[in-house]
């Protein structure tokens, strides 16, 4: 009799512990993640991802100070990206360039500052005019992240630091697939054509299994465009394999989902 | 008891899981898709019989060349060189060795077989996905042997549709004005040909001036303008039977008759009492209805594919611009606001774009804009070019381009050109003579 009660109580306790650890709404412990701005700025491998964060923070603070100085002298105007509706006529081109140049303030000064600010990222040049906006954005994002973190479970907490691909890993994979994916140019740009493909990968990046997540849509009448896009995406995966995956952390990326979206390209 | 506890502990500690990593692929390459078009295979008996009938040694090879040429002109496909093919056509058609085809970088493969049964040509073809190693499409066509080029076009249409998701435009014809002789004494005849420039036929003798032939979107009828005793006359011509009838004589300057989408009306502009407006004519009862009523010059009307709207050009703003109105003439709205003069608007069969000719600073442009006038894109620029006409799938435009003549009046040419919506794939369309005023038919087979 007592044995049964003890057994029952133990199982109940275990179930409660399990539920506490797994259910997201019960988790309260926030996660101490590096500020999101470090992710925005650094493109590096997983080994250097975390160590660089404080360094990047310092750099941003340095940029903040310099930005202040610039703003005291002459607040830089935000230059809106001008995208004309029509292809400009040949005689209009020089005017357009001139207009943009007129709007810039102290472009030479800004250039020198850019070089000093960004010591490790030469490809993506810093736009000093956008720093304030970037920092504001980072604050907003941070606030959003904090809200999200409050909802994160402990088990997720444990995995958060090792799950996902680093920016450089993701970029390498994207760049590889960009090259393999021949976009069917006849597709309409104004339709919702997003193909999600789930992959099962080998440690060397070769594909064991592909699964179109919305497979039923392929054979529905009137979904010819979706089918064409899905097939082109599958071809891209097959053509690309073995995929450029990280050399370590197989457990992280052995299952991968690729979302193929051609709208940006088709719109032109 | 212990076992249960152990199980729970193991379960707890092994519950460490990874969230599924997602990667967004928003870019790809716009390179033409590499396609291998294997020669359509045929046995010796078939070849001999076909050679007797058509004077062509290897018809399968010729059909595959038609397909290859069609695919190449789209700019979306890159047909691979046949010399690199490792597998023989007959075996490839039964069971392709996908490794051999992927070795030469083919992503799609077209194979086929041609036979002659009871004097009827039977052509079957298969489209293969080389990377997936599976069949995508398999069809067979039976026809009279002399239709072999059409079979090639129909196969291309099917392949194109399967690989791009949109209808093809290969089994179509183009009607145009064939021009010969010096610029001052030009002979103009009505001519029709396949979209790839083959099978040209002349429909008129050249005694009278012919202008602006336009296809009926629903069948193989053509309307065109001709001058009879110096008076403009609108004709209807049935291409299949060759029967032609006069729709009516119209006063003054008459321009560009065009069919409504259901083929029951024609819309055109003509000048009455010195004022050019847009009129429609019901082809059943021949009742003429005035659509616009404005002192300005309104010309070049073109229906939207659903027949509810009409686009036209007018100088009512002081300069020639493009306007859109309801098909009853109400709610007229100007849609072009760029620099220069805009003319010859043509509504795309897809309904999303309007093609036009633009004149600015002495140069002519062919361009497209959305139906609300936004998103204007100029596709091509030249000394003189005009009269765009859409392919039935709304992806390609055909137009004509003239070159400048020298002081003696020589060196003048007029040729047909095509350009796709990307603006990169511009091609000269082969014609036997000089050519102008092209109009693209709808698909002959659906």
- State whether B57 and B149 are in the same domain: yes
Q: With CB atoms and an 8 Å threshold, state whether A257 touches B21.
A: yes
- State whether A259 and A227 are in the same domain: yes
Least confident of B271-280, B352-361, B362-371: B271-280
**pLDDT tens by residue, B95-108:** 899 999 999 999 99
B1 touches chain A (CB under 8 A): yes
pLDDT of residue A61: 60
Preceding peptide of B266 cis, ω within 30°? no
**pLDDT tens by residue, A179-194:** 999 888 777 766 778 8
pLDDT of residue A202: 92
pLDDT at B192 over 60: yes
Higher pLDDT, A218 or B414: B414
Q: From the CA of A14, how many Å to the nearest CA of chain B?
A: 7
- State whether B87 and B184 are in the same domain: no
Which residues from A are below 8 Å from B33, CB to CB?
182
Which domain does B38 fall in, by range? 33-164
pLDDT at B429 over 90: yes
State mean pLDDT over B44-71.
91
Which residues from B are below 8 Å from A252, CB to CB?
18, 21
Strand, helix or coil for residue A237: helix
pLDDT of residue B100: 93
Higher pLDDT, B334 or A170: B334
Which residues from B are below 8 Å from A165, CB to CB?
21, 23
Which residues from B are below 8 Å from A158, CB to CB?
16
Instruction: Report the predicted TM-score, pTM, of the whole model to 2 decimal places.
Output: 0.72
Q: In what order do the strands lie in the sheet with B201-202?
A: B201-202, B187-194, B173-180, B434-440
- State whether A51 and A149 are in the same domain: yes
Interface test with A, best of B17, B27, B158, B349 (most A CBs within 10 A): B27
pLDDT of residue B97: 93
Structure tokens at A25: 């709404």
The reply to whether B333 falls in a domain is yes
The reply to whether A119 falls in a domain is yes
The reply to whether A7 falls in a domain is no
The reply to whether B28 falls in a domain is no
User: Which range in A147-156, B151-160, B217-226 is most confidently predicted, on average pLDDT?
Assistant: B151-160
What's the CA gap between B138 and B113, in Å, rounded? 11
ipTM > 0.85 (yes/no): no
- State whether A153 and A188 are in the same domain: no
What's the CA gap between A258 and A253, in Å, rounded? 12
Q: What percent of chain B has pLDDT over 90?
A: 62
- State whether A183 and A252 are in the same domain: yes
Burial of B104 (0-12, 13-18, 19+ CB in 10 A): middle
- Which of A160, A175, A199 is the C-terminal boundary of a domain? A160
What's the CA gap between B286 and B280, in Å, rounded? 9
**CB count, 10 Å around CB of B349?**
21
- Choose among B309, B344, B322: nearest CA to B212: B344
Interface test with B, best of A23, A83, A85, A268 (most B CBs within 10 A): A85
Least confident of A2-6, A83-87, B336-340: A83-87
Q: From the CA of A191, how many Å to the nearest CA of chain B?
A: 13
CATH of the domain at B54: 3.40.50.10070
- State whether A55 and A155 are in the same domain: yes
Which residues from B are below 8 Å from A265, CB to CB?
26-28, 30
- Which of A110, A130, A160 is the C-terminal boundary of a domain? A160
* pLDDT classification of B8: cutoffs 50, 70, 90: low
Burial of B11 (0-12, 13-18, 19+ CB in 10 A): exposed
Name every residue whose Cβ is closer than 8 Å to that of residue B162 and which is 6 or more positions away in sequence: A228, B127, B136, B137
pLDDT of residue A53: 46
Quote the number of domains for chain A.
2
- Which of B101, B134, B164 is the C-terminal boundary of a domain? B164
Which residues from B are below 8 Å from A255, CB to CB?
18, 20-21
The reply to whether B423 falls in a domain is yes
Strand segments (E) across chain A: 194-201, 207-212, 255-261
A42-59 burial, b if ≥16 CB within 10 A, otherwise e? bbbebeebeebbeebeeb
**pLDDT tens by residue, A91-137:** 444 444 444 444 444 444 433 333 333 333 333 444 445 444 544 55
First to last CA, chain B: 73
Judge contact between B167 and B153, C-beta under 8 A: no
Of A10, A186, A259, the CB nearest to B25: A259
- Which of B126, B144, B164 is the C-terminal boundary of a domain? B164
- Region of B375 please: left (phi>0), alpha (psi -120 to 50) or beta: left
Q: With CB atoms and an 8 Å threshold, state whether A159 touches B17.
A: yes
Interface test with B, best of A93, A186, A263 (most B CBs within 10 A): A186
Query: Which chain A residue is nearest to residue B338, measuring alpha carbons?
Result: A86
Which residues from A are below 8 Å from B26, CB to CB?
261-265
B134 touches chain A (CB under 8 A): no
pLDDT at B112 over 60: yes
* pLDDT classification of B166: cutoffs 50, 70, 90: confident
Average pLDDT across chain B, whole number: 89
pLDDT of residue A218: 82
Which domain does A209 fall in, by range? 167-267
pLDDT at B249 over 50: yes
Q: With CB atoms and an 8 Å threshold, state whether A186 touches B164.
A: yes
pLDDT of residue B199: 93
State mean pLDDT over A146-159.
42
- Which of A99, A134, A160 is the C-terminal boundary of a domain? A160
Which residues from B are below 8 Å from A181, CB to CB?
25, 27-29
Quote the number of domains for chain B.
2
Least confident of A98-102, A168-172, A196-200: A98-102
* pLDDT classification of B5: cutoffs 50, 70, 90: low
Q: What percent of chain A has pLDDT over 90?
A: 14
User: Which range in A32-41, A250-259, B229-238, B300-309 is most confidently predicted, on average pLDDT?
Assistant: B300-309
The reply to whether A31 falls in a domain is no
Judge contact between B84 and B100, C-beta under 8 A: no
Interface test with B, best of A2, A3, A6, A87 (most B CBs within 10 A): A87
pLDDT at A51 over 50: no
B323-343 burial, b if ≥16 CB within 10 A, otherwise e? bbbebebeebeebbebebbbb
pLDDT of residue A163: 54
Name every residue whose Cβ is closer than 8 Å to that of residue A193 and which is 6 or more positions away in sequence: A187, A225, A226, A229, A261, A262, A263
């Amino acid at each position: 009799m007592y044995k049964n009660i003890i057994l029952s109580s133990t199982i109940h306790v275990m179930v409660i512990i399990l539920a506490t650890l797994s259910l997201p709404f019960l988790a309260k412990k926030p996660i101490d993640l590096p500020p999101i701005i470090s992710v925005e700025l650094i493109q590096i491998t997983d080994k250097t991802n975390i160590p660089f964060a404080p360094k990047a923070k310092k750099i941003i603070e340095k940029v903040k100070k310099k930005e202040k100085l610039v703003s005291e002298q002459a607040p830089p105007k935000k230059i809106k990206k001008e995208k004309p509706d029509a292809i400009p006529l040949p005689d209009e081109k020089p005017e357009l360039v001139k207009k943009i140049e007129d709007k810039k303030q102290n472009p030479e000064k800004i250039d020198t500052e850019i070089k000093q600010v960004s010591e490790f990222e030469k490809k993506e040049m810093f736009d000093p005019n956008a720093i304030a906006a970037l920092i504001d954005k980072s604050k907003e994002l941070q606030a959003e992240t904090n809200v999200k973190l409050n909802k994160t479970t402990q088990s997720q907490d444990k995995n958060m630091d090792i799950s996902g691909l680093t920016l450089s890993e993701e970029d390498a994979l994207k760049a590889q697939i960009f090259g393999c994916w021949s976009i069917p140019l006849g597709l309409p740009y104004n339709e919702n054509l997003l193909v999600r493909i789930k992959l099962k990968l080998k440690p060397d990046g070769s594909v064991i299994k592909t699964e179109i997540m919305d497979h039923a849509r392929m054979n529905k009448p009137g979904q010819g465009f979706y089918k064409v896009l899905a097939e082109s995406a599958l071809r891209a995966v097959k053509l690309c394999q073995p995929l450029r995956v990280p050399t370590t952390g197989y457990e992280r990326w052995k299952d991968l989902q690729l979302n193929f979206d051609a709208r940006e390209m088709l719109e032109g | 008891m212990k076992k249960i506890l152990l199980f729970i502990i193991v379960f707890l500690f092994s519950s460490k899981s990874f969230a599924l990593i997602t990667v967004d692929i928003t870019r790809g390459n716009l390179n033409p898709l590499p396609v291998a078009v294997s020669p359509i295979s045929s046995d010796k008996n078939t070849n001999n019989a076909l050679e007797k009938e058509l004077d062509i040694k290897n018809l399968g090879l010729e059909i595959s060349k038609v397909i290859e040429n069609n695919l190449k002109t789209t700019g979306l496909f890159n047909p691979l060189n046949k010399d690199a093919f490792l597998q023989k056509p007959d075996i490839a058609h039964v069971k392709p060795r996908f490794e051999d085809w992927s070795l030469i970088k083919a992503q799609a493969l077209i194979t086929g077989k041609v036979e002659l049964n009871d004097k009827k040509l039977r052509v079957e073809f298969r489209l293969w996905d080389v990377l997936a190693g599976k069949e995508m499409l398999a069809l067979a066509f039976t026809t009279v042997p002399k239709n072999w080029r059409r079979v090639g076009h129909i196969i291309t249409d099917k392949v194109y549709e399967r690989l791009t998701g949109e209808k093809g435009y290969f089994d179509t014809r183009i009607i145009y004005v064939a021009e010969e002789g010096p610029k001052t004494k030009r002979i103009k005849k009505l001519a029709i040909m396949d979209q790839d420039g083959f099978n040209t036929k002349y429909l008129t003798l050249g005694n009278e001036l012919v202008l602006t032939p336009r296809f009926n979107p629903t069948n193989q009828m053509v309307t065109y303008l001709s001058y009879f005793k110096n008076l403009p006359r609108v004709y209807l011509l049935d291409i299949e039977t060759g029967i032609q009838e006069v729709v009516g004589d119209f006063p003054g300057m008459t321009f560009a008759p065009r069919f409504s989408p259901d083929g029951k009306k024609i819309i055109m502009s003509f000048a009455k009492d010195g004022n050019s407006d847009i009129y429609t004519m019901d082809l059943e009862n021949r009742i003429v209805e005035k659509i616009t009523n404005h002192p300005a010059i309104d010309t070049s009307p073109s229906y939207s594919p659903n027949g509810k709207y009409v686009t036209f050009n007018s100088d009512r703003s002081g300069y020639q611009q493009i306007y859109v109105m309801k098909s009853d003439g109400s709610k007229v709205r100007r849609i072009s606001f760029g620099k220069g003069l805009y003319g010859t608007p043509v509504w795309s069969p897809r309904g999303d774009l309007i093609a036009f000719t633009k004149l600015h600073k002495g140069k002519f442009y062919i361009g497209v804009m959305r139906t609300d006038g936004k998103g204007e894109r100029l596709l091509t620029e030249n000394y003189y070019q005009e009269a765009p006409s859409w392919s039935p799938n709304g992806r390609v435009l055909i137009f004509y381009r003239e070159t400048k003549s020298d002081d003696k009046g020589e060196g003048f040419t007029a040729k047909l050109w095509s350009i796709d919506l990307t603006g990169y794939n511009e091609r000269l369309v082969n014609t036997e003579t000089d050519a102008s005023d092209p109009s693209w038919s709808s698909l002959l087979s659906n």
